[in-house]
Amino acid sequence: MVLEEIVQPLVKWYRDNKRILPWRDKDNAYYTWVSEIMLQQTRVEAVKPYFQRFITELPDIQSLAECPEEKLLKLWEGLGYYNRVRNMQEAAKTVKDEYNGRLPEDYRALLSLKGIGSYTAGAIASIAYGEKVPAVDGNVLRVISRITESTEDISRQSVRRKIEQQVSQIMPSDCPGDFNQALMELGAVICVPNGQAKCAECPIAFTCLAHRHDKADMIPVKAPDRKSTRLNSSH
């Protein structure tokens, strides 16, 4: 099995079948950032109205940086984990003061901002700016583990780093954002967890070792007694 074989069919599938989402294909780094932070602990359908309301009231970095806390928390009400939006405002203030109000294009610079971890930095850099960096969330960990039939514990940081490296090695230079989103989309709607994977609908089932050996419901492995890594979050 050659992992590179998934790239073309996966990107084509994504472009033909991707869900229409209010933050998608907007070429707006701020929208990507807001949506990714909201999606850390909340399902896509639930996030949609919150996202629309948030960007209507706070359409850019400057408005977020200058928003009174009471209003900010009210806009976030219902999403929970209020530290996320407090961290966003701190990061927005930094971007306003140090980057002329525009989220930096560089992955490392994004990573230095409050509340932005490797996944969120990768998502912004690749989706909004076309930088060739991975964005590995829980969906991607599951997809790659199944394709390679890996039984390594995905809650381990060393395994996450290994999968980030695998994704980096096959990432197409001309569409890193679409490729990252394709992996995430596949995990969200096809290669779903808990024994419900829709392998018959999967565009890359032909190269998936877990599917070939009828082990999709057994992968990924995540040790139950370990303190769980927040797979879809920034640190």
- 3-state SS, one letter per residue, for the chain: CCHHHHHHHHHHHHHHHCCCCCCCCCCCHHHHHHHHHHCCCCCHHHHHHHHHHHHHHCCCHHHHHHCCHHHHHHHHCCCCCCHHHHHHHHHHHHHHHHCCCCCCCCHHHHHCCCCCCHHHHHHHHHHHHCCCCCCCCHHHHHHHHHHHCCCCECCCHHHHHHHHHHHHHHCCCCCHHHHHHHHHHHHHHCCCCCCCCCHHHCCCHHHCHHHHCCCHHHCCECCCCCCCCCCCCCC
Cβ within 8 Å of residue 98, ≥6 positions away: none
Task: At 62, list the tokens.
Answer: 């400057």
Task: At 160, list the tokens.
Answer: 């996450």
Instruction: Confirm whether 36 is a catalytic residue.
Output: yes
Cβ within 8 Å of residue 152, ≥6 positions away: 145, 159, 162, 221
Which is the catalytic residue, given 5, 36, 164, 185? Answer: 36
Catalytic machinery residues: 36
